[in-house]
Each structure stands twice: as structure tokens, then as C-alpha cells.
């Protein structure tokens, strides 16, 4: 059976995950330099070991209300379409190994109401007590930045 490792994280009360193969590292919040006229969800840029890296607020990009203060949040450094990007999340919870039978496609009833292109699936953990929305950062950010 095919397995995939993911990094689980929170945005507000919701849990999401990314395939670990896309994640380079997880950083504590660091100083971000704002960029004039950037889209609202682009917080700015950081200096990541000499490389200027764009930082995106995933909460804003996905349409969630963001209370503001970034101080206690985390930055997931990920590879998106061959580029390194920082993604701000509220908290990183754990690394999980999922089997293909734990991952379902989103319900078809959502497809007509929600842009599903960047949702790879929904993972069921602990017999469905915990649901993780699997994001495809290449599709989500590839069109946005």
C-alpha cells in the first residue's frame, strides 16, 4: 500500500497538511520586509541564509480571517514550482504517515461552490475523528505569486 508523509499544521481551528517532500524546514517567525504594492496575502520577503525568499500568509490566501499578530506563528519553508517560498501558518502540529486508504477526494457537492484545484484530498486520522485538508502548494501558489 502506498504511503505518504505529511507535515500537519493549523490555520485557526482547521488542520491542513503538505507532503513532506515539499517542505525544506520549519522556522520560528523572523523579521519580514514588506514589499510595496504586493498582494494582501504576500507578507513580504525574508533573508533565508543569503537567499531573498517570498513569504505568503496562507490564512489570508485561503480567505480566512487573520487576527493580525504574526509573532507566535511559524514559517514553513517549502518548494513551490522549483522556487523556495515561506508559508506562514498558526502552528505546526506533527509529521504523519498516511496510507492511501486514509485519503479521500473532497465531496463532489463542494466542487461547484469551492475552488478545489489546490486540494489534493482530505485525510482521515483516528477513524475520522481528525480531518486534514491536503494542499497542493504548486497549484495554490503557482497561480498567485
Q: Domain tally for the chain?
A: 1
Q: The domain containing residue 53 runs over which residues?
A: 3-143
The pLDDT tens digits of the residues spanning 58-103 come to 999 988 876 768 889 999 999 999 999 999 999 999 999 999 999 9
Per the model's pLDDT, the better-predicted residue between 56 and 141 turns out to be 56
What CATH number is attached to the domain comprising 54? 2.40.50.180
3-state secondary structure the chain: CCEEEEEEEEECCEEEEEEHHHEEEEEECCCCECCCCCCCCEEEEEEECCEEEEEEEHHHHCCCCCCCCCCCCEEEEEEECCEEEEEEECEEEEEEEEEHHHEECCCHHHHCCCCCCCEEEEEEECCCCEEEEEECHHHHHHCCC
Q: In this predicted model, what pLDDT tens digit does every residue of 104-135 receive, in sequence order?
A: 988 777 666 666 788 899 999 988 789 999 99
Amino acid at each position: 500500500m502506498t504511503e505518504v508523509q505529511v507535515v500537519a499544521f493549523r490555520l485557526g481551528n482547521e488542520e491542513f497538511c503538505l507532503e513532506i517532500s515539499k517542505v525544506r524546514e520549519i522556522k520560528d517567525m523572523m523579521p519580514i520586509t514588506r514589499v510595496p504594492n504586493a498582494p494582501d496575502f504576500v507578507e513580504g520577503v525574508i533573508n533565508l541564509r543569503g537567499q531573498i525568499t517570498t513569504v505568503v500568509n496562507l490564512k489570508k490566501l485561503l480567505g480566512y480571517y487573520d487576527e493580525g499578530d504574526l509573532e507566535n506563528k511559524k514559517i514553513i519553508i517549502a518548494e513551490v514550482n522549483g522556487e523556495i517560498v515561506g508559508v506562514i501558518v498558526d502552528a505546526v502540529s506533527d509529521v504523519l504517515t498516511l496510507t492511501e486508504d486514509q485519503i479521500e477526494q473532497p465531496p463532489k457537492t463542494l466542487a461547484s461552490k469551492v475552488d478545489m484545484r489546490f486540494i489534493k484530498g482530505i485525510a482521515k486520522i483516528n477513524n475520522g475523528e481528525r480531518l486534514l485538508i491536503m494542499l497542493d502548494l504548486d497549484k495554490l501558489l503557482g497561480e498567485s505569486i
